Every structure is written in structure tokens, then in C-alpha cells.
Amino acid sequence: MIIKTIVKGDNSSSDEEAARLAELARLREEIDSVDARLLEAYHERQRLVTAIAATKGDTKRPVRDPVREVEKLAAHPKEAPLLATLMRLSRASQYRLRYEAGARFPIGEEIAMAADALPPVHVVTTQGDLSSYGAAAARELFPEAQVMPLRTFVSACRQVVDDNAKVAVLPLENSSSGIVHEVYDLLTRHRLYIVGQVAMEIQHRLLALPGTRLGDIRRVISHPQALAQCSTIIQGMGWQIEESQNTAFAARRVAELGDKQVAALASADAGRDFGLVVLSDQVANVADNQTLFVAIARRPVIVPEASRVSLLLSLPHQSGALAELLATFADLNLNLSRIQSLPVPKRPWQYAFYIDIDVAARDEAMLEALYQLSLELPSLRFLGWYPVRTVLDWQQRN
């Protein structure tokens, strides 16, 4: 009797599941039918959009009509997300038609006039010392050039601005301690362009005078970024910190002080150059510690192997502005590899966005996106279209 009850229960369950599947199939057929009608209506809408674009004619007439959009969304609050999407796609279609018809725009002109090869680079400026990480990055990017190390980021950029050097190589961001704000500021202040990028593995060493033991250390010197990247061991050992403009400068200072209670966080190269010994090579908070270094120049250069676009932009102060920006890239199948918010100088609580897009050199979809965004955003700055590299073993090679 028990067995019969279980079997009966199983049959009942199977019948119910079959009924659910049949109902699901029927509902999906109804949705397919509705979708077909929606697509037909959408194609009809796009036909009208094309006609509107032709009627507007002159490309000086704005594609976007914010007042009309607000009115339509307010009239249909429940359907507002769908309407907003339809209007975004409609604008994109009109921008595409104008772009394909040869519409001109400042960023497009910048890109069209950009050289497709760097001129000979004989001198590269960087901040720090010849044994600094920046100098190592400069040698990776420009192995035939002379590296000119200077004390500050500003002085390295000034050599490029004054055309005394074609390129400066500076750190932009570290994988664990974040961005270098001063370099972003210099890029925008002097209207410089990124022409290359290399991700360098950063392997900090704890460096001290010969004969020093780990227990002797009371104070550690380094650049603020390096101190942040090694904060766990610093806090755990109770060391005091002293900031330096560069990791290599820190190693030099330890050598000059001649004090066994003071150590530096810097590269093995810096240790060799200043006669210091390595007390520990396991000092970083994370094992995979990398820094992005960028090569910056006065003019944009877009080599055939360029694979990344960098932009600096601001958004309108309205709901959904960031989501709409991201959707614009998604609609064109463009891959954002990075988005970073940056405070706007002298404007408290206002932010700009630094964006990287991975895309082949002079890609048409990217150019179309730039045309649209240049007309819709409060500000848009093209920072470069350049190749990227990753170098993980430079200290072992050297």
C-alpha cells in the first residue's frame, strides 16, 4: 500500500510538471508574438527617426531635445525606462547618420591629424633617479633613449611642454594603492597626450646599511605610494615613516644618513646603486603589485598597434547620466576596461571620470561614440589612443 501511494504521488507530480511546462511554452509563444509586433513598431519608429534626421539636415542643429525628452518621460512615468532607452537609441541612430555623412568635430580632427608613428625619441624624462621604477619603465618603453631623471613630476612634464624632450614617463596608477592624482592633473593642465603605457611589476625591497638587522629598524623612508603598498609590515613592526619624493631618493637618503635604525623601501637596483643591503623582499601588502606607467607627449600619436583609448569627461548633473554613458558604449559593443572618478580641482564634491576603452586603432565604432559624446557631455577630453604592454620580470633581467 505504501509503495502504491508513493508511485501515485510521483505520477501526480510528473503530471503537474508537464502541465507547467506546457503553460510555460504557451506563454512564451505569446511573448514571441508580442515581440514580433514590438519589433515591427520599432522598425517603423526607426524609419521615422531617419526621416527626422533628414529633416533636421544641418548638423549644427542639436540631435537631442532635452525639453521634449523630459515631457515624454513625465507623461509616462511607469514606462519611463523603456522610453528613455528608445530615445537613446534614436539619438544614436541620428548621430550615426551624421557621422557617416562626414560630420566634423574637434576630437575627430585631433585623431585624423595624429601621426601614426612616434618621431625619434632621444631623451625621455622621468621623476626620480636612474635606479627608480620610473626610469626602469622609461627604458622598457624607449630602450634606445637617454633617461633624464628629474626631482618632480612637474619638472619632468615641463621638459616635454618646452619641447626639450619628446616624451616623459610617469606613474599613473598602482594596483594596490590607487591613482597618482598629480599626474592626472598634469595631463589635463598642460594638455598632454598618452602615447604608450606599460604595466610594471613592482617588487619593493627593505634596504638598509650593511650590518643592519631587521630588529634595528625604527624608521622607514619611501614615496607615499610605496609606504601605502607596504603598510601592513610597517604597522606590524611599529615603524615610523618618512615620505620621500621617490623610492630611489629614499635609498639615497638612507645611505647619506648612515643610521642603522633607518631603512628604505625601494628597488633592488636602488640598493645596489647606493651600497645598501636587502633585509627583506617580502614587504608588499599583495604579491602581485603592479604600477601603470604612461608615456606622455605634446601631440597625439596613434600607431597601428594602438589598443586603448583614454578619455577624461564630465557628466550632466542628472539622474541616470552615468548609466546612459555606459549604455552608449555597450550599444556600440565597446569594452570599457577602466573607469575612475577624479575630484575636480576648486569644485568641492564635483567629479570627472577617467575612462579607458580597449579598442583597435582608429576603430569606426569608437569614433562614432566620440562624435556622439562630444555633443552630449559637458566636457570631453581625448587623452590618447596608444599601445599597452605588461612587464613582469624586469628586475630579474637586470
The predicted structure's pLDDT at residue 4: 47
The predicted structure's pLDDT at residue 380: 96
Q: Do domains 107-201+290-393 and 206-270 have the same CATH topology?
A: yes
Q: How far apart are CA 203 and CA 192, in angstroms?
A: 29
Consecutive 10-residue averages of pLDDT for the chain (398 residues): 49 85 95 96 94 80 89 93 93 93 94 95 94 93 95 95 95 87 91 95 93 95 93 95 94 95 94 94 88 96 97 89 93 94 80 94 97 95 95 59
The full set of domain ranges for the chain reads 2-100, 107-201+290-393, 206-270
2-100 topology per CATH: Chorismate Mutase Domain, subunit A (1.20.59)
The predicted structure's pLDDT at residue 25: 95
The predicted structure's pLDDT at residue 5: 47
The predicted structure's pLDDT at residue 364: 96
Q: What is the CATH number of domain 206-270?
A: 3.40.190.10
The predicted structure's pLDDT at residue 2: 46
Nearest in space to 220 (alpha carbons), one of 197, 237, 201, 203: 237
CATH of 107-201+290-393, one of 3.40.190.10, 3.30.70.120, 3.30.70.3270, 3.40.50.720: 3.40.190.10
User: pTM of the full predicted structure?
Assistant: 0.86
